[in-house]
Amino acid sequence: MTIGQLQELVTQAVEKAIEPLQVNADNLRAIITSLDAKVTTLESTQDTQADNQLIQLRLIHELRESSKKGPGKTEASRAEKIEKYLASRSDNKATFETLKGHLQVDNVRLNDAIKILIATSDRSYSIQKATIGDKRKRVLVMLPR
């Protein structure tokens, strides 16, 4: 064998050995390109989720701040009506049922009005159980100054 033939055999052997590696390299390039596209999509999705979470946190903060504000006009008006009603009664007492009828509200609105009355009034109030009749009923009492 001549040197030229030997070189030719070595070149062919190297090319045969390199050919599968080149195919694998092409496949790896395709896989990497696909993964890059997926990573880009995931990063975009993550950015969108982060923006949405920021918006949600701002909305929650606004709701909390709005709930910390003082009572509305209607609630303050109801509390004032309760105070006037109790002051007009000789015993300064009224059952919750009577107050509900006087204000024409449900239990939730009445409880809100009483909470506001107790929190904002310069008078003292007490919530007691009824002493006569149904012991489950509650009575709001305006305490003397």
Best-predicted range by mean pLDDT (14-23, 28-37, 127-136): 28-37
Q: Are residues 60 and 114 in the same domain?
A: no
pTM of this structure? 0.52
Q: Are residues 51 and 112 in the same domain?
A: no
Is the pLDDT at 135 greater than 80, yes or no?
Answer: no
CB atoms within 10 A of CB 142: 21
Number of domains in the chain: 2
- The pLDDT value recorded for residue 122 is 83
What are 78-131's pLDDT values in tens digits? Answer: 999 999 999 998 888 998 999 999 999 999 999 999 998 888 888 888 888 887
Between 122 and 20, name the one with better pLDDT. 122
The domain that holds 109 is classified in CATH as 1.10.10.10
Structural domain boundaries enclosing 102: 73-142
What are 50-85's pLDDT values in tens digits? Answer: 999 999 999 999 988 877 777 788 888 999 999 999
